[in-house]
Structure 1
Amino acid sequence: MSQQIRDIMTESPLCVQPDTVVTDIAGKMRDQDVGAVLVTDDGELLGVVTDRDLVTRFLADGGDPGTATAGSIASAADFTVAPDDEVSRAVDLMRDQAVRRLPVVENGRPVGIVSIGDLAIERDERSALADISAAPANK
């Protein structure tokens, strides 16, 4: 029996407006222990900002976190899944597109996010990645 994305996704993903400054994004990510935020406007998904985006694309290029906004640094949300999609679709997309997280979109609105850690826990709960993903956050 195939499993659906809704069975493993994290519901109610952290969303920010396009004008949210990077320092606020980083603080929200820290406070909510997440590695990605979805950038939305009127509930419509515009893009994604990951912890990796913040470090390797933004800070490494000398960006000013006090003035830059989510809308200016977000990656396009080119790859999404629906809650009713099979988990194998997320696996295929992540593998083919070399992404670690996928927004879950229903009727044009983000309703969740699925990560490579979610897939690891689902596919092989005894794997090292599953153990790391299930561990409590370092605070």
Structure 2
Amino acid sequence: MAPTVKEIMTRDPVTLAPTATVREAARQMRERDIGNVLVADGNDLRGIVTDRDIVVRGLAERDDLSDCHLSDVCSDRVVTADPNEDAEETIRRMRQNSIRRIAVVEQGKPVGVLSLGDAAMEKDPNSALGEISSARGNQ
């Protein structure tokens, strides 16, 4: 039987408000050894910010990030998955939308993130991506 999203997702995502600074997101990423934070206004998911978003939409466009907020750099086209959904179907949707991470939402509340790394570790933990994804981060 194919796994569900909740069986392979990363639980307890970091969720910050759109008004949070890019610096706060970067600190959370460093402290939790993750590459993304979800952007939510209350329980309303607004987007996702990745470490790449901070570089491409933040650093590359501004000399000073002190007043740069997550709403300035987040991907606002949010594709979500249900935790009880078949993981293969979610991965297909990720492929169709050319995204590396998908927010997992239950009853309107973010409960996890499914990444390509999570999928690789489930499907083939000995693959290059599976091994890289399971390795300790380089903080």
Per the alignment, in what secondary structure is the counterpart of residue 53 of structure 1?
helix
What is the Cα deviation at residue 118 of structure 1? 0.2
Q: What per-residue deviation string (whole Å, max 9, x for no partner) do you get for residues 9-39 of structure 1?
A: 1111011111111111111111111100001
Contact in 2 for aligned 1:77/1:103 (Cα 8 Å): no
Q: Which runs of 4+ in 1 moved over 3 A?
A: none
What is the Cα deviation at residue 83 of structure 1? 0.2
Q: Which runs of 5+ in 1 are unaligned?
A: none
Decide which moves more: 69-78 or 85-94: 69-78
Q: Which runs of 5+ in 2 are unaligned?
A: none
Decide which moves more: 129-138 or 85-94: 85-94
Identity among equivalent pairs (%) = 40
CA distance in 2 between partners of 1:3 and 1:63 (Å): 45
Aligned to 1:54: 54
Contact in 2 for aligned 1:45/1:77 (Cα 8 Å): no
TM-score, normalised by the number of residues in structure 2: 0.95
What is the Cα deviation at residue 57 of structure 1? 2.1
Contact in 1 for aligned 2:83/2:106 (Cα 8 Å): yes
Aligned to 1:15: 15
Letter of the 2:35 counterpart: G
In the superposition, relative to structure 1, how do residues 77 and 106 fare at CA in structure 2: closer, same or farther (>3 Å)? farther
Decide which moves more: 77-86 or 99-108: 77-86
Q: What per-residue deviation string (whole Å, max 9, x for no partner) do you get for residues 42-92 of structure 1?
A: 122111100110112221122632101112221114211000110112211
Letter of the 1:35 counterpart: G
Alignment of 1:94-105 (within 5 A): 94-105=94-105
Q: What per-residue deviation string (whole Å, max 9, x for no partner) do you get for residues 103-138 of structure 1?
A: 000111100001000000001111000000000111
Aligned to 1:39: 39
